[in-house]
Amino acid sequence: MILDIINKKRLGKELSYKELDYFFNGYLNGEIADYQMSSLLMAICINGMTDEEIFSLTKIFIDSGEVLDFYDIEGIKVDKHSTGGIGDKTTLIIAPIVASLGIPVIKMSGRGLGYTGGTIDKLESIPGFRVNLKDREIERQVKDIGIAITAQTRDLVPMDKVIYALRDVTATVSSIPLIASSIMSKKIASGADKIIIDVKYGNGALLRTKEEAKELSNIMIKIGEVYGREVRTLISDMNTPLGTCIGNALEVKEAIEVLKGKEDSNNLYDLCIELATEMVSMGKEISKEDAKKLVIDSIDTGKAYKKFEELVKYQDGDLRDIVVSNKTMKIRSNKAGVVKKINALEVGKLSLSLGSGKIKKTDRIDYSVGVKLNKLVGDSVKEGDILMTLYVKKDVYDINVNNIFEID
Ligand code: URA
């Protein structure tokens, strides 16, 4: 049976719900070995899946754990997810904006993966911040202050945890059917009524092309229809890092600047406004035009930042104690011109090499290190100008700035 199923998918044939259920639950229960599951995942990666197979897989994922409902919390609960990128601190900005407008936000976030950072790691750079909330705590907090950001509870889609860990080490991360069922199962199991998904493409994203991002987006909308959840998607470019900072504490500080209305003219601000607008439009069932006004107003009047402070305090964090390394290195331009591109993937690799994420599972994250971009795409540069500042623990020697900045 095990080999028949792998073979069937290897030949590009459709697997039934029963076959998928047998295989995936067999793996979760320890009856199917890593190498057999790896084989099936690779066959899925190469041959894809039909919509029917993706719906089956999503159901199998959801049914593997608890399904939350939060019926007691009044209002339309809108969730947001990103497929992951470099410098993506949008959740830290959007969630308080949306909550400050009276829409309940229950955000279950993840940790960094590969070169991409995770919201939970960023929040952990705030000393004391509790990232592991129990279901009851989430409910009480959202009733009290309208917002909670937490790591996924242990019982939520346990199938995703084991499959994701295996995908990460078998080059099967960027499979559209696998991404779709992974994301949508978690969103549906965590009780969201409506969902906005930021689907990223580019060298700093899981998917490289806009076409792939569109394909992923379409299937996630269809999964939403099956479960009666409105899903909107936004396709965004991840060839360039988002904003100016990459690295956990640095990113929290940057998010605070945006929330305080001090940073309103780059790709990070624009994307946050766009995503928050979608969420507010869905949560309040109003036009995007009206929603956008509310979103901008929430930043301009200080409401969004106040909600962020409230969130941090409720989860025991102390913003005064965020530590950014005081050892810095300035990286200068060896030519004059205009910045044409900043390679997101290379910036992600650089930040990771400084210690901002894990290269091996056993590594410890250094929340205080990272990269600040001093020049952005479109900026003019003179020879000797500072292009970026590295926040480090020890000197770094082998940086090829031309790999990161394309200046012409
Ligand atoms: N984010 C997820 O949660 N799952 C994936 O498979 C990819 C991105």
Residue 336: which of 384, 374, 383, 376 has the closest Cα?
A: 383
196 forms beta bridges with 80, 232
Residue 205: which of 182, 181, 173 has the closest Cα?
A: 173
Question: What would the mean pLDDT of 134-147 be, rounded to a whole number?
Answer: 94
The residue with tokens 């129990």 is 134
Reduced to 3 states, what is the DSSP secondary structure of residue 200? Answer: strand
pLDDT score of 205: 92
Q: Please report the DSSP string for 343-374 in residue order.
A: -HHHHHHHHIIIIIS-SSTTPPP-TT-EEEES
* CB of 58 shorter than 6 A to ligand 1: no
**Which tokens is 233 given?**
């998607």
Active site residue 81: yes
Give domain status of residue 59, yes or no.
no
**Which H helix or E strand runs over 38?**
helix 34-47
* 33 pLDDT higher than 80: yes
| Final residue of a structural domain among 256, 289, 320 | 320
Give domain status of residue 388, yes or no.
yes
Question: Which tens digit of pLDDT belongs to each residue from 184-208?
Answer: 999 999 988 999 999 999 999 989 9
* Atom 8 in ligand 1: residue holding the nearest Cα: 83
Pair (186, 334) in one structural domain: no
Q: How large a percentage of the chain has pLDDT more than 70?
A: 100
Pair (369, 250) in one structural domain: no
* CB of 84 shorter than 6 A to ligand 1: yes
Q: What distance in Å separates the CA atoms of residue 34 and residue 354, rounded to the nearest whole number?
A: 32
* CB of 354 shorter than 6 A to ligand 1: no
* Atom 1 in ligand 1: residue holding the nearest Cα: 83
| Final residue of a structural domain among 320, 344, 372 | 320
pLDDT band with cut points at 50, 70 and 90 for residue 361 = low
Active site residue 186: yes
Q: What distance in Å separates the CA atoms of residue 359 and residue 352, rounded to the nearest whole number?
A: 7
Q: What distance in Å separates the CA atoms of residue 323 and residue 271, rounded to the nearest whole number?
A: 27
* Atom 2 in ligand 1: residue holding the nearest Cα: 183
pLDDT score of 377: 96
Question: Which tens digit of pLDDT belongs to each residue from 320-334?
Answer: 989 999 999 999 999
* 111 pLDDT higher than 90: no
Give domain status of residue 339, yes or no.
yes
Q: What distance in Å separates the CA atoms of residue 359 and residue 362, rounded to the nearest whole number?
A: 8
381 forms beta bridges with 337
φ and ψ at 42, to 5 degrees? -65, -40
pLDDT band with cut points at 50, 70 and 90 for residue 360 = confident
Residue 194 near residue 67, CB atoms below 8 Å: no
**Which H helix or E strand runs over 294?**
helix 288-300
Pair (119, 213) in one structural domain: yes
Fill in the amino acid letter for 346. E
* 84 pLDDT higher than 80: yes
Q: What distance in Å separates the CA atoms of residue 147 and residue 98, rounded to the nearest whole number?
A: 9
Pair (237, 338) in one structural domain: no
pLDDT score of 82: 93
* Residue 263: how many other CB atoms lie within 10 Å: 18
Give domain status of residue 62, yes or no.
no
Question: Which of 75-89, 232-246, 302-316 has the least mean pLDDT?
Answer: 75-89
Q: How large a percentage of the chain has pLDDT more than 90?
A: 87
Active site residue 160: yes
Pair (23, 82) in one structural domain: no
* Atom 3 in ligand 1: residue holding the nearest Cα: 183
Give domain status of residue 350, yes or no.
yes
For 21, the domain range is 2-48
Q: Which atom of ligand 1 is nearest to the CA of 110?
A: 3
Among candidate residues 160, 187, 253, 281, the one labeled active-site is 160
Among candidate residues 9, 167, 303, 307, the one labeled active-site is 167
Mutate to test the pocket of ligand 1, among 57, 80, 83 (most ligand atoms within 8 A of CB): 83
* Residue 162: how many other CB atoms lie within 10 Å: 17
Q: Please report the DSSP string for 177-190 in residue order.
A: HHHHHHHHHHHHHT
Question: What would the mean pLDDT of 133-149 be, rounded to a whole number?
Answer: 94
Phi-psi region of 75 (alpha: psi -120 to 50; beta: other; left: phi over 0): left
Active site residue 167: yes
Residue 330 near residue 386, CB atoms below 8 Å: yes
Pair (367, 338) in one structural domain: yes
Q: What distance in Å separates the CA atoms of residue 392 and residue 24, rounded to the nearest whole number?
A: 43
The CATH code of the domain that includes 370 is: 3.90.1170.30
* 67 pLDDT higher than 80: yes
Tell me the longest C-alpha to C-alpha distance in the chain. Answer: 65
Question: What would the mean pLDDT of 241-252 be, rounded to a whole number?
Answer: 97
| Final residue of a structural domain among 279, 300, 320 | 320
Reduced to 3 states, what is the DSSP secondary structure of residue 80? Answer: strand
* CB of 183 shorter than 6 A to ligand 1: yes
Q: What distance in Å separates the CA atoms of residue 361 and residue 386, rounded to the nearest whole number?
A: 34
* 397 pLDDT higher than 90: no
Give domain status of residue 251, yes or no.
yes
* Atom 5 in ligand 1: residue holding the nearest Cα: 179
* 71 pLDDT higher than 90: no
The CATH code of the domain that includes 33 is: 1.20.970.10
- Indicate the average pLDDT of the chain: 95
- Between the CA of 158 and the centroid of ligand 1 the distance, in Å, is 14
Pair (111, 211) in one structural domain: yes
Number of domains present in the structure of the chain: 3
Q: What distance in Å separates the CA atoms of residue 313 and residue 235, rounded to the nearest whole number?
A: 33
pLDDT band with cut points at 50, 70 and 90 for residue 265 = confident
Pair (160, 106) in one structural domain: yes
Question: Which tens digit of pLDDT belongs to each residue from 204-222?
Answer: 998 999 999 999 999 999 9
Give domain status of residue 252, yes or no.
yes
The CATH code of the domain that includes 90 is: 3.40.1030.10
* Atom 7 in ligand 1: residue holding the nearest Cα: 179
Mutate to test the pocket of ligand 1, among 206, 216, 223 (most ligand atoms within 8 A of CB): 206
Q: What distance in Å separates the CA atoms of residue 93 and residue 81, rounded to the nearest whole number?
A: 13
Can you state the angle between helices 17-28 and 2-10, rounded to 10 degrees? 120
* CB of 179 shorter than 6 A to ligand 1: yes
Question: What would the mean pLDDT of 151-175 be, rounded to a whole number?
Answer: 90
Among candidate residues 186, 303, 372, 375, the one labeled active-site is 186
Pair (311, 333) in one structural domain: no
Pair (150, 272) in one structural domain: yes
Q: What distance in Å separates the CA atoms of residue 84 and residue 89, rounded to the nearest whole number?
A: 10
pLDDT band with cut points at 50, 70 and 90 for residue 224 = very high
Pair (82, 37) in one structural domain: no
Residue 403 near residue 346, CB atoms below 8 Å: yes
Give domain status of residue 375, yes or no.
yes
Reduced to 3 states, what is the DSSP secondary structure of residue 198? Answer: strand
Pair (292, 402) in one structural domain: no
